[in-house]
């Protein structure tokens, strides 16, 4: 189903999610670094067949969006457990869109590529998320990030991403009701198991410290396994240097 076109998630639910206490049902903590949101407007009819029918497409002014989001993670660990150096830091690259379920706005991931096989196995098994193994590298040269990823997951269609990006302006926070808020201020994810049962995981962090950005893309075939060809236009870009995140246990909805 397609949700009615709307300006953005209401400030009320965003405020409630951001201010939930950390004494609740939070099971994991992590840190996200050098993240680039790359977003393109796409036809909702392209995305609808790829999303479980129990979820509604979430649109901004009647337009659906798809995002390609490279970043790296550190301090990934269960709460109250110290980080393990060889396991707790790795690169990740996701392809996503936006959905609602019973009025709750969240993220739907088409794919999540990661450079840590145990993390891929765990997320697929426990969170019902479409994680894939990939060879990845992230290098910083001043403010410029050089990012490369090539999917290596057995049996999965090949795809790759290579780009250089950097922030180009001061940090700001998205305005209530804006497209920036719609695309970034999301505080849960939805997933589905092999029987199309829907699950939800809540995410807690402060408002995104967004910056305008620029990108030079060498390769981006991340949406080709979905049968989606991105518009031949520049993506809408947002950069964030660092966000500290808590995640809840996943639960069926």
Query: What pLDDT digit, counting tens, does each position of 194-243 carry?
Result: 999 999 999 999 999 999 999 999 999 999 999 999 999 999 999 999 99
> What CATH code would you report for 11-252?
2.40.400.10
For residue 99, the number of C-alpha atoms closer than 13 Å in the C-beta half-sphere is 26
Number of Cβ atoms within 10 Å of the Cβ of 1 = 10
The domain locations on the chain are 11-252
Model confidence band, residue 141 (pLDDT cutoffs 50, 70, 90): very high
Reference 98, options 69, 126, 131, 74; nearest CA is 69
Query: Per the structure block, which two tokens stand in for 145?
Result: 């990030």
Return the pLDDT at 1.
53
DSSP annotation of 116 reads -
Burial class (CB in 10 A: 0-12, 13-18, 19+), 175: exposed
Q: pLDDT digit string (tens) for 31-50?
A: 999 999 999 999 999 999 99
Cross-strand partners of 198: 192
Spatial distance between the Cα atoms of 145 and 207, rounded to a whole number of angstroms: 22
Q: With a cut of 80, say whether residue 106 has pLDDT above it.
A: yes
**Helix, strand, coil content of the chain in percent (nearest 5):** 15, 50, 35
Region for 42 from its dihedrals, namely left if φ exceeds 0, alpha if ψ lies in -120 to 50, beta otherwise: beta
H or E stretch including 120?
helix 117-127
Query: Per the structure block, which two tokens stand in for 62?
Result: 């009647």
Mean pLDDT (the chain) is 90
Number of Cβ atoms within 10 Å of the Cβ of 38 = 24
Q: With a cut of 90, say whether residue 247 has pLDDT above it.
A: yes
């Amino acid at each position: 189903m397609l949700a009615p076109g709307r300006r953005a998630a209401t400030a009320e639910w965003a405020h409630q999610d951001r201010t939930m206490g950390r004494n609740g049902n939070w099971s994991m903590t992590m840190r996200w670094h050098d993240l680039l949101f790359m977003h393109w407007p796409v036809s909702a009819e392209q995305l609808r067949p790829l999303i479980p029918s129990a979820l509604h497409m979430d649109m901004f002014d009647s337009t659906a969006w798809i995002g390609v989001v490279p970043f790296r993670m550190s301090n990934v660990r269960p709460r109250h457990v110290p980080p393990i150096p060889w396991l707790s830091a790795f690169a990740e690259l996701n392809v996503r869109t936006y959905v609602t379920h019973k009025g709750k706005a969240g993220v739907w991931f088409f794919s999540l590529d990661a450079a840590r096989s145990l993390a891929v196995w765990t997320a697929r098994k426990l969170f019902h998320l479409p994680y894939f193994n990939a060879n990845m590298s992230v290098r910083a040269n001043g403010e410029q990030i050089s990012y490369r990823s090539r999917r290596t997951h057995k049996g999965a269609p090949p795809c790759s991403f290579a780009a250089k990006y950097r922030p180009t302006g001061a940090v700001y926070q998205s305005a209530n009701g804006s497209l920036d808020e719609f695309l970034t201020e999301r505080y849960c994810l939805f997933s589905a198991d092999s029987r199309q049962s829907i699950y939800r995981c809540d995410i807690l962090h402060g408002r995104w410290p967004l910056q305008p950005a620029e990108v030079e893309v060498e390769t981006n075939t991340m949406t080709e396994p979905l049968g989606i060809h991105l518009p031949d236009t520049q993506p809408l870009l947002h950069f964030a240097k660092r966000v500290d995140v808590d995640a809840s246990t996943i639960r069926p909805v």
